[in-house]
Chains A and B, each alone.
Chain A
């Protein structure tokens, strides 16, 4: 059973607000990822991390930022939310020599 958690599960927030989506894993995995998924669409990688103090931008440009201060924690922040940020955000992790990505349940964000 995968132990990767995302909070909140659902969030409705007004335009211009700052938000942080939380992702935590208790498996000690080094590599962590954020994917963005629009309804009925594929997942696109927006950020990833090889380990503590490592963050990289993914294939899809995003106005969000991430940090990796602790191995188990990989939060995603939007400084000023806009309606175009409305989407589902999925966090995933892989152990260093592993092959399987474990996914959290996702955060469905709606910006009004």
Chain B
């Protein structure tokens, strides 16, 4: 069965500091991986996705993520965070055929200190 683990429930960083949010997955085949961001009271917005090819993927808002098959990880990074990055971040895994159901991690809440 597919599963996603985000070990950090809550992370606080200072504005301008670098950020890394961890994501580990369990999936029986080639995983299709996603990072979504959810601002308070809002739906989810796709930051980036990985299907194949280059294991370092670039997303919107200056985010990037690296797929490491040997570690079953897909960590999200940003070199310098902005106060507007404060939100909930969800890692997800899915198949691209059939139902295309997304399986989400528990989420990591990011707080930015001024």
Residues of A in contact with B (beta carbons under 8 Å apart): 4, 6, 9, 31, 33, 35, 40-45, 48, 50, 56, 58-59, 90, 92, 94, 99-101, 103-106, 108
* B binding-site residues for A, Cβ under 8 Å: 4, 9, 32, 34, 36, 41-46, 49, 51, 90, 96, 99-107, 109
Given contacts A33-B101, A45-B102, contact A106 B90 (CB under 8 A): no
Whether B42 and A56, one on each chain, are in contact in the complex, defined by CB atoms closer than 8 angstroms, is no
A90 to chain B, nearest CB (A): 6
Q: What are 15 A-B contacts defined by CB distance under 8 Å? A: A40-B107, A43-B44, A43-B90, A45-B102, A48-B99, A48-B101, A92-B102, A94-B100, A99-B32, A100-B46, A101-B34, A101-B102, A103-B36, A105-B42, A106-B42
How distant is the Cα of A40 from the Cα of B41 in the complex, in angstroms?
A: 12
Contact B107 A42 (CB under 8 A): yes
Contacts of A6 in B (CB 8 A): 43
Residue of B nearest to A49 (CB): B99
Other A-B pairs, 10, CB within 8 Å; known A4-B43, A40-B9: A45-B102, A90-B44, A99-B51, A101-B34, A101-B46, A103-B44, A103-B45, A105-B41, A106-B42, A106-B43
Q: Which of A31, A43, A44, A108 contacts B100 (CB 8 A)?
A: A31
Q: Which 4 A-B pairs have the closest CB atoms?
A: A103-B43, A103-B44, A42-B104, A105-B43
* B44, B46, B105: most-surrounded residue (chain A CB, <10 A): B44
CA separation between A94 and B99, bound complex, in Å?
10
**Measured CA separation A41–B105 after assembly (Å):** 8
Given A42-B90, A99-B49, A99-B51, residue A56 in contact with residue B44 (CB < 8 A): no
Residue from A35, A99, A108 having most chain B Cβ neighbours under 10 A: A99
Residues of B close to A105: CB separation below 8 A:
41-43
On chain A, the residues within 8 Å of B32 by CB distance are: 99
B43 CB, nearest partner CB in chain A, Å? 4
A6 to B90: give the CA distance in the assembly, Å: 21
